Chain A
């Protein structure tokens, strides 16, 4: 049975390549049909803020890639509820992402065979 891998994405969308390069690991894993999960934590939840405009910074819009995750077989999508609340995030742009409490995140990390927090 394949080992499962949880990617914890903690970078905001426009602070450098972090958000994009975390997502690339997820997409590559999905393309290989591996059991991959993605958790948005701390500033990582800002990637899910609605109404962002990548063009204003001449950057690539990651939201299309995020929306495509289920198509790549990545359906285990989560975000830290506390991180989102602390940042005043109301409506999120990714319907499939489930909010988790700290306790549930601890259990989530436990559940996966390996984890990369970047």
Chain B
């Protein structure tokens, strides 16, 4: 089965951790993840700028490791990211901002990537809210 997983909540939301655990379980079960798409507050899961105390769950780091190790396609919606101040080097330069918080393996792209994933996958699973 091919899954598209979309995340709409920030890293501190319990639903973000659930998304990661679901994604891990899907791969462990031999399924494929065609894309991880981060929208709305989900963009914060891709941020390099989040600082987590050592004794707490560092979700952005776990997402990054997961994507790197499993060679997944991690896309952050560019419009949602800009609106929330999550910029990569290119966008920071374009909008003349000093703060860069999005870097590889995350890619900033449009909602077309979400639609593309929905078309390609057998199942779309969304996580967010609380």
Residues in A lying within 8 Å of B, measured CB to CB = 2-3, 5, 17-18, 21, 24-25, 28-29, 31-32, 34, 114-118
Please report the C-alpha to C-alpha distance between residue A114 and residue B4 in the assembled complex, in whole angstroms.
Answer: 11
Tell me the dominant secondary structure on chain A's binding face: mixed
Residues on the B chain within 8 Å of A25, using CB: 39, 111, 114
Chain B residues engaging chain A, CB cutoff 8 angstroms: 6, 8, 39-40, 79-80, 83, 110-112, 114-115, 118-119, 124, 126, 128
Residues B119 and A24 in contact, CB atoms below 8 Å apart: no
Query: How far apart sit A117 and B8, CA to CA, in the bound complex (Å)?
Result: 11
A24→B111 contact, CB < 8 A: yes
Tell me if B124 and A21 are in contact (CB < 8 A).
no
Instruction: Please name all residues of chain A whose beta carbon is closer than 8 Å to the beta carbon of B39 when the two chains form the complex.
Output: 21, 25
Do A114 and B124 touch (CB < 8 A)? yes
What are 11 A-B residue pairs whose CB atoms fall within 8 Å in the complex? Answer: A5-B124, A21-B80, A24-B79, A28-B110, A28-B114, A31-B112, A34-B115, A34-B119, A115-B124, A116-B6, A118-B126
**A32 to B80 CA separation, bound complex (whole angstroms):** 19
Give me the 3 closest cross-chain CB pairs, A-B, nearest first. A28-B111, A114-B124, A29-B115
Which residues of A are found within 8 Å of B118, using beta-carbon distances?
Answer: 3, 5, 114
Given A17-B83, A21-B39, do A28 and B128 touch, yes or no (CB 8 Å)? Answer: no
Measured between C-beta atoms, what is the minimum distance from A29 to chain B in Å?
Answer: 5
A32 to B: closest C-beta gap in Å: 6
Q: Indicate whether A32 sits within 8 Å of B83 (C-beta atoms), given known contacts A21-B40, A116-B6, A116-B126.
A: no
Q: How far apart are B40's CB and chain A's nearest CB, in angstroms?
A: 6
Q: How far is the CA of A5 from the CA of B83 in the complex (A)?
A: 25
User: Most A CB atoms within 10 A — which of B39, B79, B112, B115?
Assistant: B115
